[in-house]
Amino acid sequence: MLVEVVLLVIVPLFIGFGVRHLFAKRVEKIASVFPAISVTFIVLVCARTIAANRNSLLGMTGMLLAIGVLMNVLGLVGGYLVAWVFRMSVPQRRSLAIEGGMQNAGLGAVLASEHFSDKAAMPAAIFVFVCIITASLLAAYWQRTGRRSAVPEATE
């Protein structure tokens, strides 16, 4: 499993660093599309896992959804509070909140599916959708509440 994590996460990360370093100007022109591509692939992986479990989905969805929402809310709040404790700016707090809430559910779904079963991957797959929805709603809320509250605080 460690080798797979290295191949799925670490190797692409370092390849991305290298490409970005060598082709900085070209990459910057198209960098805005990469988050959408990334989310699309994560959603496809998780949709495949959920589709493979369609027969047992109704029996487990309620509990998994409730646990997923609880874990996500704890991650969002925890990320924001940690950033607040370390006196980070509001944009940094918001970023850490979303990062804490998102975690690595997509990776968890892939690893669980490959090393155990599609049924074992269901919690992570459902969690991906919970994360995407809550992060989107939170980002929209923060955007609607005004940019004034997102201005970095003055350092003393």
Length of the chain: 156
CATH number, domain at 71? 1.20.1530.20
Residue 19 half-sphere exposure toward CB, CA atoms < 13 A? 11
- Residue 156 in domain: no
pLDDT at 77: 92
Residue 17 confidence (pLDDT) above 80: yes
Q: Chain-wide mean pLDDT for the chain? A: 81
For residue 155, being part of any structural domain is answered with: no
Give the residue with greater pLDDT, 78 vs 37: 78
Q: How confident is the model at residue 68 (pLDDT cuts 50, 70, 90)?
A: confident
Based on the structure, what is the number of domains in the chain?
Answer: 1
Number of CB atoms found within 10 A of residue 6's CB: 11
pLDDT value, residue 51: 80
Given a cut of 70, is residue 147 above it in pLDDT? no
pLDDT score of 49 more than 60: yes
In this predicted model, what pLDDT tens digit does every residue of 75-101 receive, in sequence order? 899 999 999 999 999 999 998 888 887
Within a domain: 37: yes
Position 52 in a domain: yes
- How far apart are alpha carbons 13 and 6 in whole angstroms? 10
Does 80 map to a domain?
yes
CA dist 57 → 3, 63, 89, 134 (Å) = 31, 11, 41, 21
Residue 156 banded pLDDT, cuts 50, 70, 90: very low
DSSP H helices, the chain, are: 2-5, 11-22, 24-30, 34-52, 54-85, 90-102, 105-115, 118-144
Domain range enclosing 98: 2-150
